[in-house]
Amino acid sequence: MHIHILGICGTFMGGIALLAREKGHRVTGCDANVYPPMSTQLEAQGIELIEGYDAAQSELAPDLFVIGNAISRGNPLLEEILDKGLLYVSGPQWLAENVLRDKWVLAVAGTHGKTTTSSLLAWILEEAGLKPGFLIGGVPQDFGVSARLTSSPFFVIEADEYDTAFCDKRSKFVHYRARTAILNNLEFDHADIFSDLASIETQFHHFVRILPKSGLIVANAGEASLKRVIERGCWTPIEWFGSAAGWHLGELAPDGACTVTLDGAEVGRLALTLAGAHNRANALAAVVAARHAGVPPSAALAALSRFGGVKRRLEVCGEVRGVTVYDDFAHHPTAIALTIAGLRQRTGGGRILAVLEPRSNTMKLGVMGAQLPASLREAELIFCYAANLGWDVRGALQPLGDRAQTHEDIDTLVAAVSAAARDGDHVLVMSNGGFCGVHARLLQALASR
pLDDT tens readout for residues 3-29? 999 999 988 999 999 999 999 999 999
- Overall size of the chain counted in residues: 449
pLDDT value at 428 more than 90: yes
Q: Which residues, listed in sequence order, are joined to residue 382 by a DSSP beta bridge?
A: 354, 404
With pLDDT > 90 as the criterion, what percentage of the chain qualifies? 72
Name the least confident of 52-56, 143-147, 374-378.
143-147
Among 441, 434, 313, smallest CA distance to 32 is for 434
Question: What does the domain layout of the chain look like in residue ranges?
Answer: 2-91, 102-304, 315-447
Write down the pLDDT at residue 112. Answer: 86
CA-CA distances (angstroms) from residue 246 to 78, 260, 270, 290?
A: 49, 10, 16, 16
- 3-state SS, the chain, equals CEEEEECCCCHHHHHHHHHHHHCCCEEEEEECCCCCCHHHHHHHCCCEEEECCCHHHHHHCCCEEEECCCCCCCCHHHHHHHHHCCCEEEHHHHHHHHHHCCCEEEEEECCCCHHHHHHHHHHHHHHCCCCCEEECCCCECCCCCCEECCCCCEEEEECCCCEEECCEEEEHHHHCCCCEEEECCCCCCCCCCCCCHHHHHHHHHHHHCCCCCCCEEEEECCCHHHHHHHHCCCCCCEEEECCCCCEEECCCCCCCEEEEEECCEEEEEEECCCCCHHHHHHHHHHHHHHHHCCCCHHHHHHHHCCCCCECCCCEEEEEECCEEEEEECCCCHHHHHHHHHHHHHHHCCCCEEEEECCCCHHHHHCCCHHHHHHHHCCCCEEEEECCCCCCCHHHHCHHHHHHEEEECCHHHHHHHHHHHCCCCCEEEEECCCCHHHHHHHHHHHHHCC
Write down the pLDDT at residue 262. Answer: 94
CA-CA distances (angstroms) from residue 179 to 16, 101, 215?
A: 20, 12, 5
pLDDT tens readout for residues 67-103? 999 999 999 999 999 999 999 999 999 999 999 999 9
d(CA 155, CA 137): 14
pLDDT value at 269 more than 80: yes
b (16+ CB within 10 A) / e for 284-314: bbbbbbbbbbebebebbbbbbeebebbbbbb
Name the least confident of 121-135, 259-273, 350-364.
350-364
For domain 315-447, say whether CATH 3.90.190.20 is its number.
yes
- Residue type (1 letter), 255: D
pLDDT tens readout for residues 288-333? 999 999 999 999 999 999 998 888 888 899 999 899 999 998 878 8
Which CATH class name applies to 2-91?
alpha beta
pLDDT tens readout for residues 231-249? 999 999 999 998 777 999 9
Write down the pLDDT at residue 381. Answer: 97
pLDDT value at 37 more than 70: no
pLDDT tens readout for residues 150-195? 999 999 999 999 889 999 999 899 999 999 999 998 987 766 777 8
pLDDT tens readout for residues 180-235? 999 998 987 766 777 888 999 999 999 999 999 999 999 999 999 999 999 999 99
Write down the pLDDT at residue 359. Answer: 81
Q: How confident is the model at residue 370 (pLDDT cuts 50, 70, 90)?
A: confident
Which CATH class name applies to 102-304?
alpha beta
Mean residue pLDDT across the chain: 92
Among 273, 327, 287, smallest CA distance to 441 is for 327
Write down the pLDDT at residue 121. Answer: 98
pLDDT value at 349 more than 70: yes
Among 280, 301, 440, 284, smallest CA distance to 346 is for 280
